[in-house]
Amino acid sequence: IYSVTNDGGVWRSTDGGVTFQQKTDNMPSLSMGAIVLDPVNPSIVYAGTGNLYDGNGWMTTLAVKAVGIYRSIDMGESWTVLNPNGIFTGRGIARMAMPAGDVLLVGTSAGLFKSVNGGMTFGQPPTYDDGIPIIGGLVEDIDLDTSDPANTIYASINGQGIFRSTDQGDTFPDNLFTNSNGSPEDAPTNGAYAFVRMAQGVTDPDRMYATVQSSGGGFDGLYRSDDRGVNWTVMPGAAAPGAANGGCQCGYDQTVGVDPQDHERVYIGFQELYASVDGGGSFAVISANKVHWDHHYIGFSPPSHWGGAPAPTPMWVGTDGGIHSTSDGGVTVNNFHTSPIASNLFHHMDIGRGSAANNDWTYGGTQDTGTLHSCAPASHCGLAASISGPVPWEMGNNGDGTGVKVDPVNPLRAYGVRNGDYRFTNDGGKTWVNPANDDPDNPVPPTAWRFAIDFHNSARVWAVTSTRSGFRPGPGLWRSNDASGTNWSDITTFTSNVRAIANTATDSDVLWFGHNNGNVQYTLNATAANPTFSGMIAVDGAPGGTPVSDVVINPLNTDEVLVTYLSICGAPCNNPDNRMRRIFRTTDRGVSWSDIRGTDGNPVGNLPNLPTHSGVYDIGTLPPSIVVANDAGVLRSSNNGATWQKLGLGLPTADSKMLQIDDSVEPPVLRLATYGRSIWELAEAQGPILAVNHDLGFDIACIDERQTRIVQLFNVGSDPLIVNAI
């Protein structure tokens, strides 16, 4: 079984899903949306980069996450990148299909491309090497005809319809929506529709189903054809499951599948998964309290796995919560998220501090898998004694998690967010309290985003909130002084949403804020009854209007502050005069700022051209080292940003979102939360090391920019230290 995950790469199981292994951690992008096996030789695997439905919130990152197609001839053990003349750079891949050996069809954000030589070249016939798509538009689905898969192919294109080819994808002259009756071109939206996916029966290839999004974003309907797309009928039984109150986040979670042994059995996936046994006349939910929400994929085991059993055919689904299967139509479900698939999409993270036992605790806010916590070993954390091996993440809050903060003296206490609502726990995440947000007699922070806790008095907590309608609009700053988690005061209102808040153990009165409009702000009396705040401070040279992603205070000098941004430089990146504008430093409390991306004209030690998400100071060096996390990894500067180098070995090219450091313990603890590859910790090297700092630009280079290739050999055995740099 091969599975691709959003910003997690390719995973492979050889034991039916009991265990999975990661196969692309050393590749330049882990953003995946499609995978296909060669029908002649299944050891040949193709994986498409650039997930079109990333959900990461900063969608310009898609331009650097789409780097082409990975091809493996050994079941994913090794890969080559297929991207002739850069035709797939910045073009996300949604689907791929292979009607024959070496014939590869690739559906992208810029059309459907065809190759007849295993991806070496792409283009139109007869040479297939001109780089021009066969058909344009946003391709969302590619289906091989169930009765003629070698020749007849269907391509679903956003807002245009379902196109049919009868010449193995050389041409797509027929649109099943425009040359038919009752299709979305006719009703109910008079031709205004968007996302389209299709499925076809096997026991009756004339039976087709299409799930369609309206141009306004809602559910247009499930369309059924009994004559291969000549006529279509809207199935009213799908209206309730697909309605807004039924959970269609259309386009994002909108899929359809037909049982290959029964064309009357059709499944539609929205937030929940629904099944019909009467050809779409009626539907019943089959996933409630069994399968995680937000369904993206429906597939069926091949005939060789059926063992002569009739429908329902064993089925696999992919959701925001992982991989699931059922062999009885959803009565019972196998959930494979307990397998070691480290693919959680973390937005934010914090750790226990102050001792080795406290360091065992980690909390994080994730995309749709809630606020998670983990503690290892289990004996330290009050977890079940039966847990052996890696301690799993445990979900305390379902939904979308964002900011988290852990009490610096009590790791059982933490603050978090569920779908924008404030939560707190006193028992290590076993239970989370949700005070009523709209009770005027007991106000708590509405739409909480980030937290800070006083290092010297952990009963004092600050929370920043975003704009919310109602009697208590934001954005603003709230404070609690009693550690109850329920008694808060509204301190101030900001003129812009705050994306980052920073404090320091050096001085409890110092708080800094990073705003959505790119500006920063601070207070020097945060513990006072009525703190005073600086005005909005524009960071000189920062990209206008780009949100601040993090603010970091130097623990040894509170006048020194770092600000990171989510920007990508918009001019030729090899121009020494063009600052990258992603990390800025002030040493005079915001009076002046320096862009510390590196040194002008230095082709080696500068930050790569990627959005930067987080930073920390490591005060174990002099001057303190600056460590930052960006869209592809972690870098460190030991000279205040004059030069940068990749930090550590073994980290995938992961979207690195949040760094946390505890320098009160020895050795210090540094952890990294990633969006798609879970959480990592920097560890001491064991044994000899071969460190290859290959392409400091993380394999992402702008036009005409030189890439860096440095090889470092460290012999840490009994022989003298040897360092070779090339």
Contact 585, 539 (CB under 8 A): no
Decide: helix, strand or coil at residue 657: strand
Mean pLDDT, all residues of the chain:
86
Model pTM above 0.85: yes
The whole-angstrom separation of Cα 49 and Cα 3 is 13
**Span 542-590, pLDDT tens digits:** 887 889 999 999 999 999 999 999 877 665 555 655 667 889 999 999 9
The pLDDT of residue 718 is above 50: no
Rounded CA-CA distance 531/510 in Å is: 10
Cα torsion 132, 134, 139, 143 to 10°: value is: -140
Examine the pLDDT at 702 and tell me if it is beyond 50: no
Burial of residue 505 (number of CB atoms within 10 Å: 0-12, 13-18, 19+): middle
Average pLDDT of the segment spanning 591-619: 88
Q: What is the pLDDT of residue 244?
A: 57
pLDDT at 433: 87
Place of tokens 């009396």: 525
State the average pLDDT over residues 680-701.
62
Look at 42-46, 72-76, 444-448, 512-516 and tell me which has the smallest mean pLDDT: 444-448
Top-confidence residue, 660 or 441: 660
Predicted local distance difference test score (pLDDT) of residue 382: 56
Nearest to 421 by CA among 375, 468, 379, 382: 468
Least confident of 208-217, 305-314, 339-348: 339-348
Which structure tokens are listed for 224?
């059924």
- Across the range 215-240, mean pLDDT stands at 92
What whole-number distance in Å separates Cα of residue 207 and Cα of residue 200?
A: 6
What is the CB-side half-sphere exposure of residue 3 using CA atoms within 13 A? 32
pLDDT at 393: 80
Q: Does residue 449 come out as left (phi exceeding 0), alpha (psi in the -120 to 50 range) or beta? A: alpha
Strand order in the sheet with 633-637: 612-618, 625-630, 633-637, 645-646
How much is the pLDDT for 696? 47
**In the predicted structure, residue 443 carries a pLDDT above the cut 80:** no
pLDDT greater than 80 at residue 473: no
Question: Residues 115-154: pLDDT tens digits?
Answer: 999 999 999 999 999 999 999 999 999 999 999 999 999 9
Q: What is the rounded (10 degree) CA torsion for 157, 163, 166, 167? A: -40
Residue 217's pLDDT is what? 85
The number of CA neighbours under 13 Å toward the Cβ of 356 is 3
Q: What is the pLDDT of residue 548?
A: 95
Identify the residue with better confidence: 146 or 698. 146
Name the residue with tokens 């998964």.
273
**Span 359-381, average pLDDT:** 81
What mean pLDDT comes out for the span 394-407?
A: 86
Residue 231 has pLDDT above 60, yes or no: yes
Task: Enumerate the H helices of 18-137 as residue ranges.
Answer: 62-65
Q: Where are the alpha helices (DSSP H) in 95-174?
A: none
Q: For residue 576, what pLDDT is reported?
A: 56
Specify the long-range contacts of residues 516-524, CB closer than 8 Å, at least 24 apart. 516/547, 516/548, 517/545, 517/547, 518/542, 518/543, 518/544, 518/545, 518/546, 518/547, 518/548, 518/565, 519/548, 520/548, 520/551, 520/561, 520/563, 520/590, 521/494, 522/561, 522/589, 522/590
pLDDT of 158 above 70: yes
> Alpha-carbon distance 451 to 104, whole Å?
49
Q: What are the DSSP calls for 598-641, one per residue? A: --TT-SSSSPPSS-EEEEEEETTSSSPEEEEEETTEEEEESSTT
Residue 705 has pLDDT above 70, yes or no: no
Other C-beta atoms lying within 10 Å of the C-beta of residue 457: 13
Tell me what the mean pLDDT of segment 192-213 comes to. 95
Strand partners, 713: 690
| Residue 416 bridge partners (DSSP) | 423
Structure confidence at residue 422 as a pLDDT band (50, 70, 90): confident
Helix (H) or strand (E) holding 460: none
Query: Among the listed ranges 178-192, 340-354, 408-422, 519-533, which one has the minimum average pLDDT value?
Result: 178-192
Do residues 196 and 209 make contact, with C-beta atoms less than 8 angstroms apart?
no
Out of 51-60, 272-281, 502-511, 613-622, pick the least confident.
Answer: 51-60
- Residue closest to 674 by CA, chosen among 318, 338, 349, 294: 349
How far does the chain reach from its first CA to its final CA, in angstroms? Answer: 40
**Among residues 111, 164, 163, 165, which one has the least CA distance to residue 138?**
111
Q: What angle do CA 383, 384, 387 make, to 5 degrees?
A: 105
Query: Which amino acid is residue 15, in one-letter code?
Result: D
* Other Cβ atoms closer than 10 A to 722: 9
pLDDT in tens, 633-662: 999 999 999 999 999 888 998 899 999 999
Q: Decide: 106 and 93 in contact? Cβ < 8 Å.
A: yes
User: What is the pLDDT averaged over residues 251-258?
Assistant: 93
Radius of gyration of the chain from Cα atoms? 27
In angstroms, rounded to a whole number, what is the distance separating the alpha carbons of residues 443 and 128?
A: 65
